Amino acid sequence: MGGSKQTVTPNHPKGGVLSSLISASCWDMTLYLPVLLLLCLCRLGLTDETSMVAPEDHSCGEPVFRQEAWRSVGGAVERLGRQLLNSLQTGPEQPNVILSPLSVALALAQLALGAHNETQKLLLSSLHAHTIPCYHHTLGSLLQHLTNTSLQVATRMYLRPEFEVYQSFVAESLHRYRSEPAPLISVEEVNQWVEDATKGHITNFLPSIPHDIVLMLINAVHFKGEWEARFDPQLTQKDVFYLDNKNFVHVDMMRSAKYPLSLLEDGELGAQVARFPFKGNTSFLVVMPLPGRGNVSSLVTKLNISDLYRRLPQESTMQVQLPKFTLQYRQELQEALTSMGLGSLFSGPDLSGISAVPLQVSSVRHACGVELSEEGADASAATSVTMMRSIPIFFVNSPFLFALVDHASLAPLFLGTVTNPAPDTSPMRINSLLGDDPHGNRTQSDSTNSNNDVQSDGPHSSNNVQ
């Protein structure tokens, strides 16, 4: 690509590009398009310095052992996700944190293509990419793999029509991450793109676009997956979800009396870990603290998906309850990224690989949503009654951490903590449940069990692992 100062201005996008991202099928779980924007603010002054995006070593194009390389990138994405979860605070307005570490990694990686010197080092360090050979090549190939599963990734580079960007940055962004330039005309056009891409779930994403914004990097990650073992919607009932030892809310609880589940009780982690597989190459991982062993936040720093997957046992049939919910999360990430050592992005970064005009990042916005349901479920098998001498039970009835994990890379495509799956519902006091003891225990043996007989005696009180 040389040191050319060739610049490019965007053409209007062709119609029909987004149609390939939208599936008409109805699946059991939807994690709909988290959107991350990097808004680069034009600073005063010009520079005559020539710039280019530094290419990776030519050996990156050689065949590599893909799964080993993907696992390295997957571990880096997980570490980034853990850092973000630790940096993002919950509160009454947003009791849950839901994000896509993959989406954040993709945006920061694309920005790193145009960063030089200390800024590039900081970005690669925050991405945990500085020790991974051919990081951009491997992340790009992982994205190609993921788009052949249930995941869709859309990227776009919005540019002011008068703003000139180096051809090398555009070419490398397109080659690595399929990010094509488009004209930044109005906030309405950007918001419409977001709304269309999220099937109407995320509306009015940006209130306005300041006049000095010249570049926006945007990506959208969309997952739709079908449970391997489906839930019967006729069995979904209102039940108790314990916010803590004093408060609870009623939520719609999906139920199955005979669910094949891989369940691990990890004493060192102080949690129960369950893997709900989807058809294909992904799973929904639930990590729920054991009673008296800390809260969800304490699990974040100890999370190690690769280790958990290695130790998860074979599936066994058990009685399961899983909350049905629809949650949204929106957050400005500047404070979180600053706490992770990226504060210079918002003051004086070296982004001279993008344009001759000095740039700085003015905002990093993230919007994410998760919908967990039993839609499209086949009721034929889930309604069966089972008789066992001792029935293992796993009820997700208190705060938990979740990860949507790609099996090939073990990367958390989505990661979050759910402390209240019904944030619009007013909590109730536990003592209002007659005879309820949040630390009580109940066992079931030598009995005929159906989902309709499930009771809620307190957080985790019904969970047992054999």
Average pLDDT, rounded, for the chain: 77
In this prediction, residue 38 carries a pLDDT of: 52
In this prediction, residue 309 carries a pLDDT of: 95
pLDDT per residue as tens digits for the range 173-196: 999 988 888 898 999 988 888 777
In this prediction, residue 164 carries a pLDDT of: 87
In this prediction, residue 51 carries a pLDDT of: 43
Res 28 pLDDT > 70: no
pLDDT per residue as tens digits for the range 393-418: 899 999 999 999 999 999 999 999 99
Q: 220 falls in which pLDDT band (50, 70, 90)? A: confident
Contact of 465 with 392, CB cutoff 8 Å: yes
Contact of 177 with 140, CB cutoff 8 Å: yes
In this prediction, residue 160 carries a pLDDT of: 87
Query: What is the average per-residue pLDDT within 440-456?
Result: 36
Query: What is the average per-residue pLDDT within 69-75?
Result: 95
pLDDT per residue as tens digits for the range 312-344: 999 999 999 999 988 888 888 889 999 999 999
Query: What is the average per-residue pLDDT within 17-38?
Result: 37
In this prediction, residue 238 carries a pLDDT of: 95
Interhelix angle 135-146/167-177, nearest 10 degrees: 50
423-425-428 Cα angle (round to 5): 115
Query: What is the average per-residue pLDDT within 6-13?
Result: 48
Amino acid 378 reads: D
Query: What is the average per-residue pLDDT within 345-363?
Result: 89
Contact of 194 with 219, CB cutoff 8 Å: no
In this prediction, residue 65 carries a pLDDT of: 66
Res 64 pLDDT > 70: no
Q: 23 falls in which pLDDT band (50, 70, 90)? A: very low
Res 86 pLDDT > 70: yes
Q: Count of residues for the chain? A: 466
Q: What percent of the chain has pLDDT above 70? A: 74
Amino acid 366 reads: H
Query: What is the average per-residue pLDDT within 91-116?
Result: 90
For residues 43-82, one letter each, b for 16 or more C-beta atoms within 10 angstroms of the residue's C-beta and e for the rest, the string is eeeeeeeebbbeebeeebeeebeeeebbbbbbbbbbbbbb
332 Cβ contact list (under 8 Å, min separation 6): 363, 364, 365, 366
In this prediction, residue 16 carries a pLDDT of: 22
Domains of the chain as residue ranges with CATH: 26-226+327-371 (3.30.497.10), 233-324+378-453 (2.30.39.10)
Res 353 pLDDT > 90: yes
- Name residue, tokens 């005559």: 48
In this prediction, residue 391 carries a pLDDT of: 52
In this prediction, residue 55 carries a pLDDT of: 53
In this prediction, residue 152 carries a pLDDT of: 72
pLDDT per residue as tens digits for the range 277-303: 988 888 999 999 998 888 898 899 999
Res 275 pLDDT > 60: yes
In this prediction, residue 376 carries a pLDDT of: 23
Q: How far is CA 116 from CA 152, 327, 345, 353, in A?
A: 30, 38, 12, 7
Sign of the Cα torsion 124, 127, 128, 133 reads negative
Q: Considering only residues 460 and 170, tell me which one the structure prediction assigns the higher pLDDT.
A: 170
Q: How far is 269 from 292, CA to CA, in rounded Å?
A: 12
Q: Which of 29-33, 56-60, 113-117 has the lowest mean pLDDT?
A: 29-33
Q: How far is CA 187 from CA 205, 278, 432, in A?
A: 9, 37, 49
Instruction: Give this prediction's pTM.
Output: 0.82
Q: 426 falls in which pLDDT band (50, 70, 90)? A: confident
Q: 169 falls in which pLDDT band (50, 70, 90)? A: very high
Q: 115 falls in which pLDDT band (50, 70, 90)? A: very high
In this prediction, residue 93 carries a pLDDT of: 79
Res 147 pLDDT > 90: no
The three-state DSSP-derived secondary structure of the chain is CCCCCCEECCCCCCCCCHHHHCCCCCCCEEECCCEEEEEEEECCCCCCCCCCCCCCCHHHHCCCCHHHHHHHHHHHHHHHHHHHHHHCCCCCCCCCEEECHHHHHHHHHHHHHCCCHHHHHHHHHHCCCCCCCCHHHHHHHHHHHHCCCCEEEEEEEEECCCCCEEHHHHHHHHHHHCCEEEECCCHHHHHHHHHHHCCCCCCCCCCCCCCCEEEEEEEEEEEEECECCCCCHHHCEEEEEECCCCEEEEEEEEEEEEEEEEEEEECCCCEEEEEEEECCCEEEEEEEECCCCCCHHHHHCCCCHHHHHHHCCCCEEEEEEEECEEEEEEEECHHHHHHHHHHHHHCCCCCCCCCCCCEEEEEEEEEEEEEECCCCCCHHHHCCCEEEEECCEEECCCCEEEEEEECCCCCEEEEEEECCCCCCCCCEEHHHCCCCCCCCCCCCEEEEECHHHCCCCCCCCCCECC
